[in-house]
């Protein structure tokens, strides 16, 4: 696993052994950030405040920092993943741009600092927790009203339409890459 683009391009990231976490594949991550840089959603990366939910080793948030994000807040509950995440932040010398929260994205009571302008949620496949965590973060005031939200799911998964409607979220597009699907959401109005 490595940083795909930006100022840290090519830097190898430490990975977590075993099957407890499933890092976003390089190909999926590259496509995600090409879409974000493509302009369809504005300048999402420049000076962004990124919220990386279910961050694992931090590849998504660190990629965003490499490509121009100002800050990244990582939320992860697995202790082994947290150690690797912190090591990856140190490897890129990004300690001043990062906040690591050891906790569950579904039950945090809030997050200090700027509201997220870009939310990346890559929960375990088949749980629906990515969307639920995003809604929870919106409820506790951690997400800016005009934020772009990207939820990664398994290819066959769909986002819960009732949750989307209740929380006034709209899905602009979904793209599949191998076993993964990326869903691009914003809050309506």
Domain ranges of the chain: 27-187
Task: Using the predicted structure, report yes or no on whether residue 39 has a pLDDT greater than 70.
Answer: yes
**What's residue 38's pLDDT?**
84
Does this model's pTM top 0.85? My answer is: yes
Q: What is the mean pLDDT of the segment spanning 26-53? A: 90
CA 143/CA 29 separation, integer angstroms: 22
Phi/psi for 7 (5° steps) reads -70, -20
Superfamily of domain 27-187 in the CATH hierarchy: Vaccinia Virus protein VP39 (3.40.50.150)
Q: What is the mean pLDDT of the segment spanning 142-153? A: 96
Task: Using the predicted structure, report yes or no on whether residue 22 has a pLDDT greater than 80.
Answer: no
Q: What is the mean pLDDT of the segment spanning 153-164? A: 96
Torsion angle of the four alpha carbons 122, 102, 92, 20, in this order, in degrees rounded to the nearest 10: -50
Which residues sit opposite 42 in a β-bridge? Answer: 40
Task: Using the predicted structure, report yes or no on whether residue 21 has a pLDDT greater than 70.
Answer: no
Is 111 within 8 Å of 79 (Cβ atoms)?
Answer: no
Task: Using the predicted structure, report yes or no on whether residue 157 has a pLDDT greater than 90.
Answer: yes
CA 114, chain centre distance (Å): 16
CA 161/CA 145 separation, integer angstroms: 20
């Amino acid at each position: 696993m490595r940083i795909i683009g930006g100022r840290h391009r090519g830097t190898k990231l430490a990975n977590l052994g075993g099957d407890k976490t499933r890092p976003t594949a390089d190909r999926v991550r590259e496509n995600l950030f090409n879409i974000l840089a493509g302009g369809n959603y504005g300048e999402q990366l420049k000076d962004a405040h990124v919220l990386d939910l279910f961050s694992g080793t931090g590849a998504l948030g660190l990629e965003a920092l490499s490509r121009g994000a100002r800050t990244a807040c990582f939320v992860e509950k697995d202790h082994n993943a947290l150690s690797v995440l912190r090591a990856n932040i140190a490897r890129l010398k990004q300690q001043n741009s990062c906040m690591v929260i050891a906790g569950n994205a579904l039950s945090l009571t809030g997050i200090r600092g700027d509201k997220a302008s870009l939310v990346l949620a890559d929960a375990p496949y088949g749980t629906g927790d990515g969307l639920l965590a995003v809604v929870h973060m919106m409820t506790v005031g951690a997400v800016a009203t005009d934020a772009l939200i990207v939820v990664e799911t398994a290819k066959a998964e769909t986002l819960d339409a009732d949750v989307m409607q209740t929380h006034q979220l709209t899905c602009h597009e979904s793209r599949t890459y191998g076993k993964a699907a990326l869903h691009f959401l914003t809050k309506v109005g």
